Amino acid sequence: MFDKSILTRILILSSILQLSACSTLGYIAHTSSGHLKLMGDRQEISSLINDGSLDQTQINIFKDILRMREFASSKLLLPDNKSYTSYVDLKRDYVTWVVFATPTLSLQAESWCFWLVGCVPYRGYFDESKAQQFANQLRQQQLEVYVAPVPAYSTLGWFSDPVLSSMLNRGELVTAEYIFHELAHQQLYIKNDTSFNEAFASAVGKIGVIAWLKSENKNAELKRYLQSQQEKQQIYQIIDGLRDQLTEIYESALSEREKIHLKQDAFAEYQQLITSKTKQWGKYKSYNRWVIEDMNNAKLNAFSTYQALVPAFVILFKACNKSFDKFYRVVESAKYLNKKQRVEFLQDGQCHTTSHQ
């Protein structure tokens, strides 16, 4: 799974309200029932702490979650509501499985459009078998497909979203990053611009974890987290290089056969480079499934969607003197721009609101 995760956005809520004509009634029924089951299974974390059913380790985890939730609103200035103050035990490893698809000789992702959130480059399912069935249909259309298991869930604040058992499986810092990331979607969501939305939320998640660790005086954990982020940034840079290489190949005047041959060489070179880098770190096994196995155009797009603009958001936050209030106001002003202008505005790295309001 790509960093943080990667993370399901509100496909559910849009299906409850109104889906585009191309979506099937079966998909509406599936996503609606999955969403409603989650909402029905919620238990207040404060009640769980006090009802005597948990051991001390579990109590400590839930107390930390409530402190993270309070920290998100009081220090990160994220929405103050009931989201992530309840809990659902999924009894499975992931909440949804998200399907990405891309043509064989293109990095133009397939997209699906929904009334509430606009067009997004994925389609999510609460049942892995249904996701795989849809993925197989796309493969029959000669598309490259990536099915991403997703541990976190958001409805952009339309419902009080719960903390899920799948969000706790990778430790305290990942849990905190999930919570901050998902609340960032409630802070700002721009219709029809998934890359901007996801990168903003990912940046807030990472910035939030650093602030959390500093507030907790966990210097050793902070050092390890920063080292991990540096490693991942090196991975993302290699991925960006592969995207640039493939874009040049796909947009060239070469024959289809020549493009396919060069594409295979590019992926082979990428795999060799990533393998060498992760073995150098002694982390090949932990990175293998994430960034080496089954890499194709669709998986490459998934990485780009969630990570390509993250460094620019981090630079902008620093330019705003690490003021969350100022940072949010500047980022929100970009909603008045088109996609291209938004990226240019972001990459400018200046802490000022756009004049296009």
Q: Residue 18 phi/psi, 5° resolution?
A: -170, 125
Provide the pLDDT for residue 357.
Answer: 54
Asked whether 8 and 197 are in contact (CB, 8 A), the reply is no
Asked whether 34 and 150 are in contact (CB, 8 A), the reply is no
CA dihedral 157, 159, 164, 170 (to 10 degrees): -10
Which residues, 6+ apart, have CB-to-CB distance to 247 below 8 Å? 107
* Local confidence band at 341 (pLDDT 50, 70, 90 cut-offs): very high
Which tokens is 270 given?
């990428």
Provide the pLDDT for residue 157.
Answer: 83
Residue-wise pLDDT tens digits, 144-165: 999 999 999 888 888 899 999 9
Residue-wise pLDDT tens digits, 258-298: 999 999 999 999 999 999 999 999 988 888 888 988 999 99
Look-up: residue for tokens 């490459």? Answer: 300
Listed by start position, the domains of the chain span: 8-191, 310-348
Which tokens is 315 given?
């630079």
Which residues, 6+ apart, have CB-to-CB distance to 206 below 8 Å? 177, 229, 310, 314
Provide the pLDDT for residue 209.
Answer: 98
* Local confidence band at 114 (pLDDT 50, 70, 90 cut-offs): confident
Lowest model confidence (mean pLDDT) among 33-42, 141-150, 295-304: 33-42
* Local confidence band at 354 (pLDDT 50, 70, 90 cut-offs): confident
From residue 310, give the alpha-carbon distance in Å to each of 69, 117, 197: 23, 21, 10
Containing 329, the helix (H) or strand (E) segment is: helix 324-333
Which residues, 6+ apart, have CB-to-CB distance to 262 below 8 Å? 249, 254
**Bridge partners of residue 125, in order along the sequence:** 97
Mean pLDDT across the stretch 233-253? 95
The amino acid present at 3, given as its one-letter code, is: D
Q: Is 248 helix (H, G, I), strand (E, B) or coil?
A: helix
Model confidence, pTM: 0.90
